Structure 1
Amino acid sequence: MTELQSALLLRRQLAELNKNPVEGFSAGLIDDNDLYRWEVLIIGPPDTLYEGGVFKAHLTFPRDYPLRPPKMKFITEIWHPNVDKSGDVCISILHEPGEDKYGYEKPEERWLPIHTVETIMISVISMLADPNGDSPANVDAAKEWREDRNGEFKRKVARCVRKSQETAFE
């Protein structure tokens, strides 16, 4: 996969998302001259603690995309077991392809070149609705999610949702 091919693929995926938007998120380039850096706005999924939130994140694609996955980082503060404290998203489909050295994930759960921005975003929205407490990127959030979901965890998420609404369109 050449850089030209990966750029064409990203341009095609962006055009497709603009033509046929997918419910729950929108995507665009951070800078019109760089196809490898995208900004996405994720709407907190209905019937979850994140409902009503508008969360901004960046996707940074490697030059050999789709052979390797992009990195995803929330810019909006978010309290979630699978998002570390600096905003980096930790879910299986964004992990490098192949065997998991810890034996936790099957190769087919990890990155595959068939994934698109749409499949990534659907997985992230699903992760918001249903965190994986077994493989946390934020141990404190995972502990609260397991032990005090309707107390401290819910309060912190509600604060993030409020803050996201206030800063969504800055």
Structure 2
Amino acid sequence: MSEQSVLLLKKQLRELTQNPVDGFSAGLVDDENIFLWEIVIVGPQDTLYEGGFFKALLTFPLEYPLLPPKMRFTSEMYHPNVYPSGEVCISILHPPGEDTYGYEQASERWSPVHTVETILVSVISMLSSPNDESPANLEAAKELRENYPAFKKKVQRLARRSAEDF
């Protein structure tokens, strides 16, 4: 499978390089490793993250596209759907099949039709519309619900700092 994975990832990288998509950039961390990508997401306009530049890593398994990659922000991120470690928790990055907890439908989870572009568009959507009902970061979800002004201040400070560090 890994030979097919390499070809598919090279194709997706070439497409993103030739036809950049607004909102993010993607490239390899090391030209010798097609399975590790560095991502920069531009904070979406009209959100608390606007103006920020958030770095992340996408790590693809050898079984890609049968299994999803993992995405982890390396820039500081405060969001209900991002673990304190930086790992992104959204449905399309969860392994295919039924959710053992019954929260997600199989159709919401990973499918081989997803591409780097669809993943990153979903992450940008996540930044725009946090899901605080199934949080990865309980503190961020609680603050979003119970003390929005404090949440807003913290996120806007992060966005400014990420732009300065970029």
TM range (shorter): over 0.9
Amino acid across the alignment from 1:46: Q
Q: Give the superposition deviation at 1:82.
A: 0.2
The residue number in structure 2 matching 1:93 is 92
1:59-90: CA deviation from partner (whole Å, max 9, x where unpaired): 00000100000000000001100001110000
TM-score with structure 1 length normalisation? 0.97
Q: Which amino acid aligns with 1:126?
A: S
Q: Secondary structure at the match of 2:37?
A: strand
Identity %: 63
1:116 Cα deviation after fit: 0.1
For the residues of structure 2 that align with 1:52 and 1:70, how far apart are their CA atoms? 26
Aligned equivalents of 1:63, 1:167: Cα separation in 2: 33
Q: CA RMSD in A?
A: 0.5
Structure 2 portions without partners, runs of 5+: none
TM-score, length of structure 2 as denominator length: 0.99
CA distance in 2, matches of 1:49, 1:42: 14
Name 1:57's counterpart in structure 2.
Answer: 56
Stretches of structure 1 that go unaligned for 5 or more consecutive residues are: none
Describe the SS at the equivalent of 1:128: helix
Which 4+ stretches in 1 moved above 4 angstroms? none
**Which position in structure 2 is the counterpart of 1:34?**
33
Q: How many residues align?
A: 166
The CA distance in 2 between the partners of 1:165 and 1:46, in whole Å, is 14
Residues 105-147 of structure 1 show CA distances to partners (whole Å, capped at 9, x for unaligned) of 0000000000000000000000000001111000000011111
